[in-house]
């Protein structure tokens, strides 16, 4: 219930933020009016003794959110994907949030598995380890199947985590509503929409069947990608609160020394991790949106293994084409085309000056191209780009922000392997190939065939739909004109010809 009983939660939250020094940073990032700052801090200051102390070695915001618990940690991680809301500087701080929490007992995990799967743990697994990783929502155990002796990873949700998250979500909604009412100038941040987006992310993560489905779809899309591997989902041993996958054996991507000692080519890994991500985003429109070191391993054969599919990004085909053209325009330094694409897609209001926007984009791109490979920063580029697009009234697009944020994270992983890696050189062949396949004559033919298929499917209903529309407008449907048998024969022949041509084109493209 989003009612007054959540006030205590907000008092504790405000007290913790004030005690850790995070309150001022958050109000600055939100550009809160002076009177609101005075009011909020004035209410929080007397209660700061009630606030949680947290880890004094952490930056203020990270320290506060980790002290407040799982929902706040996850909220901070989601906000790290929204520099348009919290600003680039705070978004970077939030990216280091670690959701490592004390594990719950292995006996409790086994009981959850038995309850969810309806089987005895000892009959299915010959081994079931203590937790090997414990996060804010779930923890992972290494287990061995009794049937074939293969090792698997068993992910189990924390007991009671759904109720705990719902209570904090209610408090978040109350805070967002108050923020909307007290600070009209801050409504541009759309606090209620931000909470709704967070709720959508959390609801998906709290149902491991959804994560299993994401892992399965991702595996199907990337099956033929060389040098990339995903653990297989064990559907028979997965349910809403339990997820079982093959065990991924490899070296954690953050342990560069061990990877180098194993004889892997770091320069190749650097290039490959970026190109794989771009392929998934542009080619498939479905990408791993949390591709940091902790979710990647390097297999003994050099494959990059990804896991933890709680946060995935999705782009429709139109958005992919727009984004590819924007990227390609930057790579070619064709700022006029980049500006035109923004206007054509409706991202920037039509009443703005396209030439002025192109000059602003040039001011973003040219300094980057003047740098050597080690100085190029995707984070800096996107920070400048957000400033420019905000100035020109570009509406926030959550899916693009998630894509851009993930690209920054992937760039960080790539530079861990090789700090001299040039992101533009690595991205160019992937973007060029996508442009060739999606915006050329072949792509236009495919689009026409798709349109023909839709029309063919709805063809029999078109006369009735047209008649119903005319009736709604208060008009009588016109009487069909009299046609000779030769006219009818001509239309039938034309229709047969069109159907034949469409069939040939479809067959050629299949």
β-pairing, 304-306 vs 228-229, is: parallel
Residue 197 corresponds to which tokens in the numbers above?
């987006």
Q: Please state, in angstroms and rounded to a whole number, the distance separating the CA atoms of residues 75 and 201.
A: 10
What are the φ and ψ backbone dihedral angles of 345, each rounded to 5 degrees?
-80, -10
290, 303, 308, 418: which one is catalytic? 290
Tokens of 424: 């533009």
In 3D, which of 292, 107, 123, 309 has the Cα closest to residue 204?
309
Round to whole Å and give the CA distance between 430 and 160: 44
Distances (CA, A) of 58 to 98, 158, 322, 435: 11, 25, 40, 44
Question: CB 84: neighbour CB atoms within 10 A?
Answer: 22
225 is catalytic: no
Q: List the structure tokens of 201.
A: 């992310």
132 φ/ψ angles, rounded to the nearest 5 degrees: -100, -15
Rounded Cα distance, 284 and 150, in Å: 31
Measured CA to CA, the distance from residue 345 to residue 120 in angstroms comes to: 55
Distance, CA of 328 to CA of 435 (rounded, Å): 8
Name the 3-class secondary structure at 105: coil
Bridge partners, 131 (sequence order): 141
Residue 153 three-state SS? strand
Which residues are known catalytic residues?
A: 290
């Amino acid at each position: 219930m989003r009612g007054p009983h959540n006030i205590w939660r907000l008092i504790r939250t405000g007290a913790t933020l004030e005690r850790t020094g995070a309150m001022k940073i958050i109000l600055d990032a939100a550009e809160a009016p002076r009177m609101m700052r005075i009011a909020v801090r004035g209410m929080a200051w007397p209660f700061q003794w009630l606030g949680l102390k947290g880890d004094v070695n952490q930056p203020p915001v990270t320290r506060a959110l980790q002290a407040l618990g799982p929902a706040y940690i996850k909220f901070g991680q989601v906000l790290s994907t929204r520099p348009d809301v919290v600003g680039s500087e705070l978004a970077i701080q939030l990216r280091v949030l670690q959701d490592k929490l004390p594990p719950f007992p292995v006996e409790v995990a086994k009981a959850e598995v038995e309850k969810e799967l309806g089987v005895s743990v000892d009959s299915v697994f010959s081994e079931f380890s203590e937790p090997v990783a414990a996060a804010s929502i779930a923890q992972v155990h290494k287990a061995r199947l009794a049937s074939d002796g293969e090792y698997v990873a068993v992910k189990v949700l924390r007991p009671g985590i759904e109720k705990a998250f719902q209570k904090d979500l209610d408090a978040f909604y109350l805070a967002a509503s108050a923020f909307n009412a007290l600070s009209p100038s801050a409504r541009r941040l759309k606090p209620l929409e931000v909470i709704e987006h967070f709720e959508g992310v959390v609801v998906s993560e709290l149902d491991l069947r959804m994560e299993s489905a994401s892992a399965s779809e991702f595996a199907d899309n990337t099956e033929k990608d060389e040098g990339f591997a995903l653990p297989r989902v064990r559907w028979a041993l997965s349910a809403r609160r339990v997820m079982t996958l093959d065990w991924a054996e490899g070296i954690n991507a953050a342990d560069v020394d061990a990877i180098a000692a194993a004889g892997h080519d770091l320069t190749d890994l650097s290039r490959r991790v970026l190109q794989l991500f771009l392929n998934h985003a542009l080619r498939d429109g479905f990408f791993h949106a949390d591709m940091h070191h902790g979710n990647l391993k390097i297999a003994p054969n050099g494959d990059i293994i990804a896991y933890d599919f709680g946060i995935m990004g999705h782009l429709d085909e139109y958005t992919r084409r727009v984004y590819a053209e924007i990227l390609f325009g930057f790579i070619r330094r064709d700022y006029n085309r980049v500006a035109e694409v923004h206007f054509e897609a409706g991202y920037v209001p039509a009443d703005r000056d396209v030439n002025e926007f192109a000059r602003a984009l040039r001011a973003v791109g040219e300094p980057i191209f003047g740098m050597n490979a080690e100085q190029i920063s995707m984070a800096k580029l996107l920070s400048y780009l957000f400033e420019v697009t905000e100035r020109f009234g570009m509406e926030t697009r959550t899916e693009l922000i998630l894509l851009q944020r993930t690209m920054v994270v992937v760039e960080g992983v790539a530079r861990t392997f090789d700090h001299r890696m040039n992101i533009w050189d690595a991205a160019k062949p992937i973007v060029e190939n996508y442009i060739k396949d999606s915006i050329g004559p072949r792509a236009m033919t495919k689009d026409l065939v798709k349109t023909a298929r839709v029309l063919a499917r709805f063809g029999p209903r078109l006369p009735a739909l047209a008649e119903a529309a005319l009736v709604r407008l208060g008009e009588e449907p016109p009487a069909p004109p009299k046609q000779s048998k030769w006219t009818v024969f001509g239309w039938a022949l034309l229709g047969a010809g069109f159907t034949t041509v469409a069939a040939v084109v479809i067959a050629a493209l299949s």
